[in-house]
């Protein structure tokens, strides 16, 4: 397994934790994981969070449905927003507003406006199904912002 940080690849989780511990306490720690089923990995996710202390943690391919309650996927000291196959966790100390006005039918996405002392930043976690022909049309109709996604 290869992990990535802003300083390139790291070989294992202990290297990542060491890099994060060396970073400034003013840095915002953000991560994205494509988990391919969250239910059987929630304990590992909680452990990763405990070690790395991410302020914002975006999860895709959760394979969750409405029968899975929030208490089953709770991460300590985190709030969460779910939308389809996405979960967006954010730390309790983060000043954030869930942007429900950006929700688009047919688009599995959770939107969060995070307020910093000098600015605000819009974060989103978006799931694009492999067979979705309308994904970019849905994005283009309502949202003209810069996106990052896995290829």
The better pLDDT of the pair 135, 64 is held by 64
pLDDT reading at 141 higher than 60? no
Give residue 25's pLDDT band: very low, low, confident or very high (50, 70, 90).
low
Tokens of 136: 């970019």
pLDDT at 83: 85
Q: Give the Cα separation of 53 and 29 in Å (integer).
A: 7
Q: Rounded to whole angstroms, how far apart are CA atoms 71 and 108?
A: 21
1 pLDDT band, cuts 50/70/90, is very low
% the chain with pLDDT above 90: 32
pLDDT band at 146 (very low <50, low <70, confident <90, very high): very low
Give me the percent of the chain exceeding a pLDDT of 70.
75
Domains of the chain with CATH codes: 27-142 (3.60.10.10)
User: How many angstroms separate the CA atoms of 119 and 146, rounded?
Assistant: 17
Q: How many residues does the chain have?
A: 151
Give the pLDDT confidence of 95-134 residue by residue, as tens digits: 999 998 888 777 788 889 999 888 888 888 888 777 777 7
Q: How many CB atoms lie within 10 A of CB 24?
A: 5
The whole-angstrom distance between residue 141's C-alpha and the CA centroid of its chain comes to 23
User: Can you tell me the distance from the alpha carbon of 19 to that of 24, in angstroms, rounded to the nearest whole number?
Assistant: 10
Looking at residue 144, its pLDDT comes to 46
Q: What is the pTM of this model?
A: 0.76
């Amino acid at each position: 397994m290869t992990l990535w940080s802003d300083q390139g690849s790291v070989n294992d989780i202990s290297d990542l934790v060491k890099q994060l511990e060396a970073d400034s306490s003013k840095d915002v720690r953000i991560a994205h994981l494509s988990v391919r089923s969250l239910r059987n990995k929630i304990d590992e996710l909680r452990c990763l969070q405990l070690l790395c202390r991410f302020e914002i943690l975006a999860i895709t391919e959760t394979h969750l449905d409405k029968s899975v309650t929030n208490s089953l996927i709770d991460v300590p000291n985190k709030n969460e927003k779910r939308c389809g196959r996405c979960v967006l966790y954010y730390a309790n100390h983060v000043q954030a507003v869930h942007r429900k006005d950006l929700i688009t039918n047919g688009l599995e996405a959770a939107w969060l406006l995070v307020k910093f002392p000098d600015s605000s930043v819009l974060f989103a976690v978006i799931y694009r199904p492999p067979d979705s022909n309308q994904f970019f049309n849905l994005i283009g109709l309502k949202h003209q912002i810069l996106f990052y996604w896995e290829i």
